[in-house]
Structure 1
Amino acid sequence: MLNKNQDQTVASGGAAIQAAGDVTIVNTGISTAEARAIALDVAKATFYELSGLARDIASSRVEEITNRVIEKLEKENPSGLQKAKDPDFQYSLLTVQKEFARTGDTDLGDLLVDLLVDRSKQDQRTILQIVLNESLATAPKLTDGQLSALALIFLFRYTQNYQVGNHKLFGEYLDKHVFPHSARLPKSAASYQHLEFAGCGTALVGGPLEETLGKRYGGLFLKGFEKAELTSRGISVGLDSRFVIPCLTDPSKLQNNAMNRQTIEKQIEEKQLSADDGAKLLTLFDESKLNDIQVKEKVIQIRPFMKEVFDAWVNTPMQSFTLTSVGIAIGHANIKRFAREFTELEVWIN
C-alpha cells in the first residue's frame, strides 16, 4: 500500500530512492525492482490528499496498475524500463495511475497500459510521442462504447487486411477485430458530440459501411463470370490462376484473383501484361461486383453480429466520423487490446 511513511530498508548494494528528495541512480541502467519503486514513488504524493478508505483503495489500485505496466514493459519493451527516470514518461505514468486509481476500471486500465507501453518506445519528442501523451489523458474521458466506436471507425476507415483471401478468413478477421466491439457501440448523437469535444474526431462526409467494404474487399464480393467470357473478350491470360480463380460467391463461375482494383493494377504492372489485357481484367472486375445491398447481405451471412454494426454505422455519425491523430491512437490501442497484435501505430502517425 502507498502511505506517507517513506522509510526504506536498502539491501547491500542497493540504492535508496526518495520521491521527496534527490534521486540518485548510480548505474547507467535500472532493474525491474528499481523501476517499480520509482513508478510507485511517482504516485505517492498525489494520494496524500485522500484519506481513510479512499486512500487505501486508491493505493491498492495504483500498485495493481503499476505492476501491470512493469510486467508488460518486461514482456514487450524491456528497454522501456529505463524510461522510469524520464520526467515526461513519469508524467504519463502518473496519468495512468491517477485515472486507474479513480475508476478501477479493468478495461480502461488495459487500454492505458497499452498506450503507455507504446509511449515507452518513443525516445524523442516526436509527433507520435505527443499524440500518445494526449491519448493517455483523453481515453479516461470516454465510455466503453465510445472507445469501441473509435476502434471500429479506425478499423474500417483507415485499415485494410490483404490476408483475408476468402470468406472463412474474412469471418475470422471479423471475429477477432470487430466482434468484441459490436454490442458496445453507442447509439446517441451526444456520444459522438462528446467524441468531437474530446478531440477524437469530427463528423464530416462519409458513406455506408457496405460501400467501404465493397471497395476495400471487393474480391470477396463478386458474382463471377462464365469461362466463355475470357475467350469472347480476347483476354490472353486465360485460366492462369495468378489472375483468375473459382468465384468465392458462386463456385460454378470464375472471378478475378484480386482483392480490389488496386491489386489488379499492381498485377498488370508486375506481370507486365499488355494494356489491352489489363483494361479487360479491370472491366471484368467492375462488372462482376455485387451491389451495396448484396455486399451487406453477404457480410451478415458470414457473421450475423455484423447486422448490429451496420445498423449503428448508418443510424449514427459513425459513417461520417473522421478521426484525429488522438482518435486514431486510441482506436488503434483498443483494437490491439482485444486482438493482441496489430500493425504498429507509426504506420498512421509519423
Structure 2
Amino acid sequence: MELVEMRQTQKAGDNSINVQGDVVHFGVSYRDAREIAKDVFEENIVKFTEVARGTASRRAHEFTEKLISSLPVEALESLQDPDVQRSLFYAQQEFACSGEKDLGELLLKLLADRMQSTERGVKTLALNEALRTAPKLTSRHFAALSVLMICIQTKLGANSVEDLHRSLSQVLSPIVKDFQITRADVAYLEYAGCLSSNAFTTNLGDAFSSTYPGLFTAGFMEEWISEDSRSALIPLTQECLRDPAMIQLPILPKNEILEIADQESFRPHKQEIERLMGIGSMAVEEIEREISGIDEDLADFPKRYNASSLVNSQLTAIGTTLAYTNLKRVVGDHFDAELDVWVH
C-alpha cells in the first residue's frame, strides 16, 4: 500500500491557533524559534566594538536562520531547554567569531542533531561535548577522524567487489583529500578527547580483511571442507565472488560469521568454520594495492594511513560524533546511516 502525505494550508491571525486534520501544534513556532535563538545570542554576546558587534550579529543570525529552517517543527520545542540554549549560544558565538564556512556547517549539523535528541544519554552528552570540541580542531583533524571511522568502525553496504569500490570512491575518496596527520596531531586529538590509544596495530589491509572477508577471498573448493562438516556447511556457502569455480562463506564481517558459528546448528562445526575463514584470504598487501587502484585520490592512501599513528588509535564517543558529522557534511547522502548506530 502506498502512503500519501496530505498537506493543508491555513492562514490565521497572530493570536489564533491553527488546527489541521489530526495534527495540532501548540508548541514553539518557527517565528518563535527565530526570536528565541536571536535573543539567546544578543543577550549573551560579549561587548565588541560597534563594527565587530555588527559582523558577529550578522553571522550569528545567518547561522540561526539556516538552523531553524533545517529543523522539523517538533524539534523547535527543545529551544526552551536551558541545556539546548547553552549549546546554541556556544555554536552561535563560535561561528560569529570565526565565520569559517566548514566549521559553520559542522556546528549546524551537530546542533540540529542535539535539538532532536530529547533523552539525556550518551548520544546527547557526546553531541554537547562535540559542539565544544569542534572549534578547537582543524580540517585535517576532522578528516583523520572520519577516515578512522570509515576504515575501522564502519561496514559499507557492499555485496560485491564493484559495490565496495564504488562506495569507497564516494565516501572515502572525498575525505582523504584532506588526510595528512602527524604524530603531534594524533596526540592532540587524544588530549581533546577524540581518540584513545590502542595496544593493537591495525593496518589498513588488516582492517578491510576483517570487515570484508567475503570480498577479499579467492574462496575454496567443496572438497576442501572436512567430510564430517561438509553436508552441514555447504548450505552456508555461496559462489565465490572472485572465482565462480570456487565457493566461499557469506559476505559478512568476521565477527558476524563467528556469531553464526555459535548457533546451535553450526556449533559442532565451529572449528571448521574458523579454518575455512583463513583459506583463500587475500594478503593484506594485495588488499592495499587494490584499494590504491580504485581512483587517484586513494593511490597513496594505504601507505599514508599505515605510516600514521592512527593504526594504534580508536575513536571515543566524542571523536565518533565529530567523525560522523564531518562525513555527513562532506559526502551527504552517500553516507546515510544514523549516528545512533555508533553512539547510543
- TM-score bin, normalised by smaller chain: 0.7 to 0.9
Indicate conservation of the 8 Å contact 1:261/1:282, yes or no.
Answer: no
How far 1:237 sits from its partner (Å)? 5.8
Equivalent residues in 2 for 1:29-40, closer than 5 Å: 29-40=27-38
Residue identity in the other structure for 2:117: Q
Q: Which runs of 5+ in 2 are unaligned?
A: 1-12, 17-24
Alignment of 1:171 onto 2:165:
yes
Counterpart residue number, 2:91 = 96
Counterpart residue number, 1:19 = none
Q: Residue deviations 1:139-194, cap 9 Å, x none?
A: 01100110111112122222223x31111111222123212211111232222222
DSSP 3-state at the match of 1:169: helix
Residue identity in the other structure for 1:254: I
Residue identity in the other structure for 2:307: N
DSSP 3-state at the match of 1:57: helix
Alignment of 1:256 onto 2:249:
yes
Residue identity in the other structure for 2:114: R
How far 1:93 sits from its partner (Å)? 0.6
* Residue 304 to residue 211, structure 1, CA distance change in 2 (3 Å): farther
1:29 & 1:232 partners in 2: Cα distance?
68
Indicate conservation of the 8 Å contact 1:203/1:317, yes or no.
Answer: no
* Residue 267 to residue 324, structure 1, CA distance change in 2 (3 Å): closer
DSSP 3-state at the match of 1:322: strand
Equivalent residues in 2 for 1:206-245, closer than 5 Å: 206-226=201-221, 228-229=223-224, 235-236=230-231, 240=235, 243-245=237-239
* Residue 210 to residue 124, structure 1, CA distance change in 2 (3 Å): same
Residue identity in the other structure for 1:44: E
Indicate conservation of the 8 Å contact 1:187/1:315, yes or no.
Answer: no
* Residue 129 to residue 248, structure 1, CA distance change in 2 (3 Å): same
How far 1:198 sits from its partner (Å)? 1.6
1:37 & 1:31 partners in 2: Cα distance?
10
Indicate conservation of the 8 Å contact 2:219/2:246, yes or no.
Answer: yes
Counterpart residue number, 2:53 = 55
Indicate conservation of the 8 Å contact 2:292/2:301, yes or no.
Answer: no
Counterpart residue number, 1:181 = 175
Q: Residue deviations 1:72-105, cap 9 Å, x none?
A: 213xxx3110112121111101111111111222
Counterpart residue number, 2:323 = 331
Q: Residue deviations 1:6-30, cap 9 Å, x none?
A: xxxxx8539xxxxxxxxxxxx9511
Counterpart residue number, 1:43 = 41
How far 1:66 sits from its partner (Å)? 0.5
Counterpart residue number, 1:289 = 281
* Residue 272 to residue 238, structure 1, CA distance change in 2 (3 Å): closer
2:226 & 2:322 partners in 1: Cα distance?
51
Q: TM-score, normalised by structure 2?
A: 0.83
* Residue 52 to residue 223, structure 1, CA distance change in 2 (3 Å): same
Counterpart residue number, 2:116 = 121
Counterpart residue number, 2:8 = none
Counterpart residue number, 2:142 = 147
Q: Which runs of 5+ in 1 are unaligned?
A: 1-10, 15-26
2:258 & 2:27 partners in 1: Cα distance?
51
Indicate conservation of the 8 Å contact 1:201/1:324, yes or no.
Answer: yes
How far 1:255 sits from its partner (Å)? 2.5
1:48 & 1:292 partners in 2: Cα distance?
55
- Percent identical among aligned pairs is 27
Alignment of 1:13 onto 2:18:
no
Residue identity in the other structure for 1:344: E
Indicate conservation of the 8 Å contact 2:149/2:320, yes or no.
Answer: yes
1:48 & 1:261 partners in 2: Cα distance?
54
Q: Residue deviations 1:235-254, cap 9 Å, x none?
A: 226865x5121x32334433
How far 1:227 sits from its partner (Å)? 5.2
1:265 & 1:136 partners in 2: Cα distance?
38
Counterpart residue number, 2:292 = 300
Indicate conservation of the 8 Å contact 1:182/1:306, yes or no.
Answer: yes
Equivalent pairs counted in the alignment come to: 321
